[in-house]
Structure 1
Amino acid sequence: MSLIFSATTLERCLEKASNELKVPKECLEYTIITQKNTFFKKKVEIEISEVNEKDNLISDKELSNKEQEAHKGIKVKDGEIIIENLDYESNETAIIHPCNGIKLLINGEECISKTAVTALDNIEVEYVTKESSRKIDITTSEDKMEAYITINYFPECSFELVDKLCCRELKLETKKKKVAYPPKYTYDEILIILRENNIVYGLLNDKIKEISEKQGVDRELIAQGDKVIEDIPDTVKVFFESDKKKTLKDENAKIDYRNMYSISNISSGEVLAEKIEGVQGKDGKNIFGNEIKKKTAKKINIKIGSGCKLEENKVISTIEGRPSCKSGVYSVNKTYELKDVDIKTGNVDFIGDVEISGSIKSGTQVKAGNSVTVRKNVEEATIIASGQVSISANVLNSKISAGANDIDKKKHLEILKQYDSIIESLISYTQQIKEKNVLGNNQSDGEIIKILIESKFKSIPRLSMLIVSFEKNNSSTDNDMINFIRKKIMGLGPIKIKKYSELYELKNMLINEIEILEEEIVIPVDVYMDYAQDSTIEASGSVFITGKGQYVSKITALNNIEFTQTGAVCRGGILHAKDEIKLKTIGSIAGVLTRVEVSKKGCITADIAYQNTVFCFGEKQITLDVASKNVKAYLGKDGMIVVDKFLL
């Protein structure tokens, strides 16, 4: 039987025949009986003469196999995982991959990685729902003056599986089904949380309200304390040059020590100084409500001495003279000028400044309430000045003392500090002996203290005598500290001590005396000279030797000793300074004994140092055994003297 099919193209004819006959196009045998291809009309007619049944049978089977194979595997439909057409007898498998948002269970066990499944496996899905949450974090600054807030909101969300066509390897995917944010922290809730964190002061309420309306914030400032406003202290503006202000320089840019001590004179009615009132500050408060106290600045009370008056915080000169300030006391001193001091003029004792254009001759003494200036030599004479001493030439076989009263007080202060330290050690040793019962139960505290003084603290009697003598010379013999030392420390006094704790009373009195004395000590004053020989020089400040140097003199400075001229020689004698001694050349080729002393924290330097020079640091000393250059001596960290040097 033949059938005729027509269409606009051959391909469409074959498709039409294939669909009606239910036979694949490849199985059709046909003949084209008509084919028209005009501009207006296209037509093709074919005649199906025979259908290849065998091929059709095979093709149907292949098609069926292909279709069946295409529908083998695993798929997702409407949120359900379905296994299709897997042959359980041959144990056919498909691969499944888990994903986020679900809990994949295969035969009741959770699957966390790709897994092969068969038609017999039971696959279940549990959907993960993330609950909404919110988090608030309060942090504070180190100084407790600022608080910061961080808020994060995490939404609730659920998931559903995305539909997937059947395949042999299924990669599961999810999509968010529902998103819901938690409620925002309210203004009141934030305040409660701040109170729970003890943050109660300096809250920025407007800022907190603004934050409560936002969908999260990161480290926003919400509280700020009041910072301390420190007092601005009183200041004094000085209108004259002090002893050390005027510093001239020579052509080589070296300090001109000869002119360093130039001082200006002022006329009557001139302003010496003016106090500028400070400004009172304000206490602060941190975010926890704790007050922070400001440091109270000391008020300056201007004190005036002779030659001036105080008007509305201004110090005004009432005479013509030389202004000065010592221990905060402003004064104007008249200047006593003379050519020479000798037997004809007699000794000089003047309350102000003394200027001598010539020399001070043998057997005379100059005593000044302030500075002394000598343009020429000082020969076998004595100068005692409360202020600076400046000698442009030589000091020969004489005694110079600058700030004499200050030197005594400073020495006494050092003794008191040493005494205080020893008393503290005495208390500690007594306590240890009693606790360990070293001397038995028959010894009283006083007897133990007496034994320790006689055996270990042998310097106590000598220091006690020095303290009592100083107080006696200063008409201070009737005070509690001196009475205690006399009655319970000196001689057989310790036996009268019933309890060693009585020594704490002495220690407190010593501390009080030290504090008072430190306040009374005047600003250090210096001595300047060109050369010294066979003389004794003392200064409460520093000693500057600006010329050739010194020979077999005893020089004491409570600050520094410095030789300023290149090639200056220090030969023989004893030099003692608290801080630093700067030398050019010390000693001689012949090995003249020369001793230089500083405190334990001091330092000694020399361009050249010859053998037999003794360096002392406190109680320790070392003698240089070979001539050296570029010498620097000091105490090392181990407490031993270190001498850095190069051989000469």
Structure 2
Amino acid sequence: MSVKYYKGDSLEKCINQAVEELKISKDELKYTVVEKKGFFKKTYVISVEASDEETVKTEETNTLGENDGSVWVNNGKIFVKNAAHNGRPPVVIPSEGMILMVNGEEVKRQMEVKGNDDIECIIDKTQAKRYLNVKITDDKIEAYVDVEYKPETLYKLKDVEKRNKLLLEKEVLEENYPDKFTEEEIKQELSNLGVKYGIIQENISKAVEGTKGALLIAKGVEKIDDTDDEIKYLFKSSAVKTNDDSLNDRVDYKNMNSIDSVEKGAIIAEHIPGETGQDGIDVYGNKIPKIQGKRKPLKTGKGCIPKGENAVMSLVNGKPSTRNGVLSVNEVHEVTGDVDIKNGNVKFVGDVNITGDVQEGMVVEAGNNVTISKNINGAKVRADGNVYIKGNIIASNVTAGGADVIVQRRIKDLSLLKETLKNIELALNEIKDHKLLGTEKQDGEIIKLLIDSKFRTILRTCIQIINDYSYDESNGQSNGIVNFIKQKLIGLGPLSIKHVSEFDVLLQKIDEKLDSLNKEAIIPVVVEIAYSQDSTVSSSGDVIITGNGEYVSNISAYNSIQFTDERAIARGGTLTAGNQIRCKTVGSSAGVTTVLQVEKTGNIWASTVYQNTRLIVGTREFVVDMPCRELHAYLDKEGDLAVDKFNL
């Protein structure tokens, strides 16, 4: 390598000088700015490393002095003429891709030569090669082939006229390409890789000649998934009541009642069938299953009928609703004013709207939603749907969800009885294993002692189960569970148990009943009230308290209980929910006992909590002993009750 310098009044001019002299492009030029000076007029100097080949090309080697030696190439052979007195000796320089031998020794840089030197130039040749590559996409739908041929290239020395310094150069003598792949060879390669479906014969023929890049050689069939059926409701609603759990978090409970009424004969819903897709096939011939679409048949209840194959028509003037996928239209019964002894009780199959109060001793029952604009005092309200009470509830009983509330209670009680029986059996076996009561006690005697001491709550559960079985008796169903409870678990009944294995019969009946109850559709509904005092409120879904809160009331919800007003207070009584309870202020500085209870997977949140508040999560209990804030109660991973809080 040699270094050359270029000078100019701008960097661009220096670069242009270099590329013009070296006969290379600007992209090929590698330079370094070695000097830049001047205040009013700048001067740049760059250095460029030039190879011997480039140096030789730029020198005026074609001008030979009279005494200079010379070297040239003719018909691929090197000839040398020695220098005369004081003349420059001839020089040869090998280029890349050749081996220059002078008198049996390899020359890697330039070398002076003489006429009697043994000069041999061995030029590399490239081997003929051919490439066949097949690539399959990640989804296995397409296969591509890349075919390339590289020839064997033979070279000879390029003829050059006489000069003092000679850079040996090569030129192509001939090129010999390898045999082309046959179509059969390409097909065999595909077969070796397992590609057998969607092979494109036309492109195989093209690939034989070389592809100059990837060429599609096989293409499978992409799967097309089914689309889901759609039910399009043709009435305005801020939130259609649904049994789809995935929507529960998005429902605006405060506005669930804002559903437009429809007229008789109106089309209230359309069924839009999903499109049927097709399975795919990959290039290996394997089936790619499509995703099956969800089918949503139109189901009609009271107040509407199918219209053709894909529509529903209202038979009455009323409010539409969906429960468990069944579309109904409920007639609306309007009560202008109060429900009192003068107007009588209200029992209606559809919605009931009451503009006044529900007074003491009165009963309101609805097959769907109930809306009461004012207060309830000493009355009963029962609805299969939602209940909205804009005023206060005083000494009253409110139930939303109808039979679903009873079903939920029965599931809870039977599950509790099942768990208690298993715990009694475990305790009994431990007593017998360690002979804590000697060896003469019968199983029934031990069970009686356990019920009277450690498992006394089983009696309350049994009584509730017996009371609820009146619903089965009214339907003519057998009451084997009740018979066992009465004969084996209440009073002196346990003494008749000879062996604890008799529990197995009851546990089997409980499992059968739980399976039956769990299959009954439980529709989540909402009770929305402003304030409750000395009342009982139950919901198969949620209870939302929008006003001042509750005082000494029993409130239960299958899902959640939520207080929305920052000033709301829960003081006294018992609040029970399956999933969560969210309160603002609980209890009072005087220590009024308030119970907040959720299932073992549930959570309790409260902004401010006073002493004497009982927190129950599953079977774990914690009593708050001093005022605190930002409380969160839950079971941790080990099943222990965790209570996160800050003291006031």
TM range (shorter): 0.5 to 0.7
State the shift of 1:531 in Å: 0.5
Task: Deviation per CA, 1:452-474: give whole Å up to 9, x if none.
Answer: xx9xxx99x98998999789954
State the shift of 1:99 in Å: 7.0
**Which residue of 1 is the match for residue 368 of structure 2?**
370
**Residues 329 and 69 of structure 1, relative CA distance in 2, 3 Å threshold:** closer
- Mapped contact 1:326–1:522 kept (Cα < 8 A): no
Would you say how many aligned residue pairs link Structure 1 and Structure 2? 520
1:591 aligns with 2:591: yes
State the shift of 1:528 in Å: 0.8
1:231 aligns with 2:229: no
**Which residue of 1 is the match for residue 327 of structure 2?**
330
Task: Deviation per CA, 1:470-510: give whole Å up to 9, x if none.
Answer: 8995469689999xxxxxxx9525889xxxxxx9xx89x97
Between the aligned partners of 2:463 and 2:155, the Cα distance in structure 1 is 95
**Which residue of 2 is the match for residue 311 of structure 1?**
307
1:576 aligns with 2:576: yes
Which one-letter code corresponds to 2:367 in the other structure? G
State the shift of 1:530 in Å: 0.9
State the shift of 1:156 in Å: 1.5
**Which residue of 2 is the match for residue 281 of structure 1?**
277
Between the aligned partners of 1:274 and 1:112, the Cα distance in structure 2 is 91
Between the aligned partners of 1:530 and 1:630, the Cα distance in structure 2 is 23
State the shift of 1:416 in Å: 9.0
**Which residue of 2 is the match for residue 566 of structure 1?**
566
State the shift of 1:526 in Å: 0.3
State the shift of 1:139 in Å: 1.8
**Which residue of 2 is the match for residue 194 of structure 1?**
190
Between the aligned partners of 1:273 and 1:406, the Cα distance in structure 2 is 26
Between the aligned partners of 1:511 and 1:156, the Cα distance in structure 2 is 84
The correspondence of residues 435-584 of structure 1 with structure 2, limited to 5 A, is 473-474=471-472, 491-493=500-502, 520-584=520-584
Q: Secondary structure at the residue paired with 2:405?
A: helix
Between the aligned partners of 2:166 and 2:565, the Cα distance in structure 1 is 98
**Residues 176 and 574 of structure 1, relative CA distance in 2, 3 Å threshold:** farther
Give me the TM-score of the superposition, normalised by structure 1. 0.64
The correspondence of residues 229-308 of structure 1 with structure 2, limited to 5 A, is 229-241=224-236, 244=239, 261-308=257-304
Between the aligned partners of 1:466 and 1:166, the Cα distance in structure 2 is 123
Identical-pair percentage: 37
- Mapped contact 1:390–1:529 kept (Cα < 8 A): yes
**Which residue of 1 is the match for residue 26 of structure 2?**
none
**Residues 495 and 357 of structure 1, relative CA distance in 2, 3 Å threshold:** closer
The correspondence of residues 21-420 of structure 1 with structure 2, limited to 5 A, is 101=97, 128-160=124-156, 175-213=171-209, 215-241=210-236, 244=239, 261-312=257-308, 313-338=310-335, 339-343=337-341, 347-410=345-408
- Mapped contact 2:101–2:107 kept (Cα < 8 A): no
Between the aligned partners of 2:349 and 2:192, the Cα distance in structure 1 is 71
- Mapped contact 2:91–2:113 kept (Cα < 8 A): no
**Which residue of 1 is the match for residue 443 of structure 2?**
none
Q: Secondary structure at the residue paired with 1:194?
A: helix
- Mapped contact 1:258–1:392 kept (Cα < 8 A): no
State the shift of 1:561 in Å: 1.8
Give me the TM-score of the superposition, normalised by structure 2. 0.64
**Residues 612 and 419 of structure 1, relative CA distance in 2, 3 Å threshold:** closer
Between the aligned partners of 1:126 and 1:161, the Cα distance in structure 2 is 9
Q: Secondary structure at the residue paired with 1:195?
A: helix
Task: Deviation per CA, 1:438-459: give whole Å up to 9, x if none.
Answer: xxxxxxxxxxxxx9xx9xxx99
Between the aligned partners of 2:136 and 2:351, the Cα distance in structure 1 is 62
Which one-letter code corresponds to 1:595 in the other structure? V
Between the aligned partners of 2:100 and 2:599, the Cα distance in structure 1 is 84
- Mapped contact 1:132–1:182 kept (Cα < 8 A): yes
State the shift of 1:415 in Å: 8.2
Q: Which runs of 5+ in 2 are unaligned?
A: 1-64, 83-89, 242-250, 427-446, 483-498
Q: Secondary structure at the residue paired with 1:373?
A: strand
State the shift of 1:386 in Å: 0.8
Q: Secondary structure at the residue paired with 2:358?
A: coil
- Mapped contact 1:258–1:546 kept (Cα < 8 A): no
Between the aligned partners of 1:480 and 1:179, the Cα distance in structure 2 is 98
Between the aligned partners of 2:579 and 2:538, the Cα distance in structure 1 is 15
Between the aligned partners of 1:117 and 1:416, the Cα distance in structure 2 is 109
Which one-letter code corresponds to 1:151 in the other structure? V
**Residues 306 and 494 of structure 1, relative CA distance in 2, 3 Å threshold:** closer
State the shift of 1:387 in Å: 0.5
Which one-letter code corresponds to 1:407 in the other structure? V
**Residues 310 and 188 of structure 1, relative CA distance in 2, 3 Å threshold:** same
Q: Which runs of 5+ in 1 are unaligned?
A: 1-65, 86-93, 247-254, 430-450, 483-489, 497-502
State the shift of 1:373 in Å: 2.0
Q: Secondary structure at the residue paired with 1:387?
A: coil
State the shift of 1:158 in Å: 3.2
Between the aligned partners of 1:462 and 1:380, the Cα distance in structure 2 is 32
**Which residue of 2 is the match for residue 6 of structure 1?**
none
State the shift of 1:143 in Å: 1.9
**Which residue of 2 is the match for residue 14 of structure 1?**
none
**Residues 202 and 355 of structure 1, relative CA distance in 2, 3 Å threshold:** same
**Residues 281 and 259 of structure 1, relative CA distance in 2, 3 Å threshold:** closer
**Residues 190 and 98 of structure 1, relative CA distance in 2, 3 Å threshold:** same
Between the aligned partners of 1:552 and 1:481, the Cα distance in structure 2 is 34
Which one-letter code corresponds to 2:217 in the other structure? I
Between the aligned partners of 2:135 and 2:420, the Cα distance in structure 1 is 50
Between the aligned partners of 1:266 and 1:180, the Cα distance in structure 2 is 87
State the shift of 1:403 in Å: 0.7
Between the aligned partners of 2:220 and 2:289, the Cα distance in structure 1 is 13
- Mapped contact 1:471–1:477 kept (Cα < 8 A): no
**Residues 340 and 328 of structure 1, relative CA distance in 2, 3 Å threshold:** same
- Mapped contact 2:69–2:81 kept (Cα < 8 A): no
**Residues 95 and 375 of structure 1, relative CA distance in 2, 3 Å threshold:** same
**Residues 569 and 419 of structure 1, relative CA distance in 2, 3 Å threshold:** closer
Larger radius of gyration: 1
Which one-letter code corresponds to 2:130 in the other structure? R
Between the aligned partners of 1:549 and 1:136, the Cα distance in structure 2 is 79
- Mapped contact 2:580–2:602 kept (Cα < 8 A): yes
Q: Secondary structure at the residue paired with 1:562?
A: strand
Task: Deviation per CA, 1:593-640: give whole Å up to 9, x if none.
Answer: 333334455444333333443444434444444434444555566766
Q: Secondary structure at the residue paired with 1:149?
A: strand
Between the aligned partners of 1:543 and 1:495, the Cα distance in structure 2 is 38
Between the aligned partners of 2:95 and 2:481, the Cα distance in structure 1 is 89
- Mapped contact 1:100–1:174 kept (Cα < 8 A): no
Q: Secondary structure at the residue paired with 2:214?
A: strand
Which one-letter code corresponds to 1:492 in the other structure? S
**Residues 124 and 235 of structure 1, relative CA distance in 2, 3 Å threshold:** same
Between the aligned partners of 2:417 and 2:287, the Cα distance in structure 1 is 40
Between the aligned partners of 1:473 and 1:107, the Cα distance in structure 2 is 118
Between the aligned partners of 1:276 and 1:125, the Cα distance in structure 2 is 83
Which one-letter code corresponds to 1:146 in the other structure? E
